[in-house]
Amino acid sequence: MKKFVGLLLLVAGIFGTAFKADAQGLKLGIQGITFEPDTVVKESVNFHSAISVKKKEKSTALYIGGSKRSSIRLFEYGWNMLDKEVPGDWFEINNWKSQQVTINPFNMSITNAKGNVGLSMALGLRANNFRFDGPYTIGEVGGVVNPVPVEGRIKKTKFTTAAIHIPAEFTIGKPSRFAVSMGGFADVVFNSHTKIKYRGGSKDKARDFPVNFLQYGFSARVSCKYVSIYCNWYPGGLFKNGRGPKMDVWSIGIGL
């Protein structure tokens, strides 16, 4: 009896050890006690990227500078044309010899950070020359500008205004590549005179004609690699109301 009990305890000890080792592999079901494969414990491994990507923030800063981003050029050269209210009026000019010369030494631009949208402004001097297409000049008769015949061997006869030029243009694009601009300008006239040059070298001049002291206009421009083509329109007329022929001035030119 004692041997039987000892043998029973030995068998129970062996099974107890096995059950303890595989406790997680036992399953109690309808079919009795079954063994399942050992449970595999998976460990997760996290890898941190060695490359960091920074998100580029959009800049809303404004750039204030000189002529580098400005659509208005330092030097402009153009040709004047007249749109007279009375067709065939006496004020006839030679368009190709009626030049417009502008110098803008003071130039400023305000653009966004990319430089593709901005406002350009300048301060300069402008001279408008009107070369008469005939042997005559102009003079005041009763305070009104009228034609005056010129005799002799005439080389050229013209009328000139000089003004302080103040332009401003809104630009889309980069003038150093390609840009389109529209804006306006104001010319403060400080001088007006006629000039007759005779063959042989002699000259005649007359000054202070009744021109509009403040002349304004509108402009359009196409720029490509710091060279531009522009068009100006003076809708206010050249002379004061009732003091001379009524006409608008147009000019087309290039800026460098």
Instruction: Decide: helix, strand or coil at residue 167.
Output: strand
Fold annotation for 62-255:
Porin (2.40.160)
Q: What are the tens digits of pLDDT across the range 185-197? A: 999 999 999 999 9
pLDDT band at 21 (very low <50, low <70, confident <90, very high): very low
- C-beta of residue 100 within 8 angstroms of C-beta of residue 187: no
| Cβ partners under 8 Å of residue 45, min gap 6 | none
Instruction: Decide: helix, strand or coil at residue 235.
Output: coil
Mean pLDDT of the chain, nearest integer:
81
pLDDT band at 88 (very low <50, low <70, confident <90, very high): low
In terms of pLDDT, which residue wins out, 1 or 254? 254
Report the candidate in 139, 153, 134, 147 with the shortest Cα–Cα distance to residue 202: 153
pTM above 0.85, yes or no: no
- C-beta of residue 171 within 8 angstroms of C-beta of residue 117: yes
Report the candidate in 233, 234, 255 with the shortest Cα–Cα distance to residue 175: 255
Report the candidate in 170, 164, 184 with the shortest Cα–Cα distance to residue 70: 170
- Tokens 């010899």 — which residue? 97
Given this model, what pLDDT does residue 18 score? 45
Angstrom CA distances, 124 to 81, 176, 235, stand at 22, 21, 21
Span of 8-22, 103-117, 208-222 with lowest mean pLDDT: 8-22
Q: What are the tens digits of pLDDT across the range 134-181? A: 899 999 988 899 999 998 889 999 999 999 999 999 999 998 899 999
In this prediction, residues 3-14 reach a mean pLDDT of 48
Q: What are the tens digits of pLDDT across the range 23-74? A: 444 444 444 444 444 444 444 444 333 443 444 455 546 677 666 788 999 9
Q: Where are the chain's structural domains?
A: 2-35, 62-255
Q: What are the tens digits of pLDDT across the range 196-223? A: 999 888 999 999 999 999 999 999 999 9
Given this model, what pLDDT does residue 152 score? 86
In this prediction, residues 78-88 reach a mean pLDDT of 83
| Measured distance CA(28)–CA(26) in Å, rounded | 7
DSSP assignment letter at 66: S
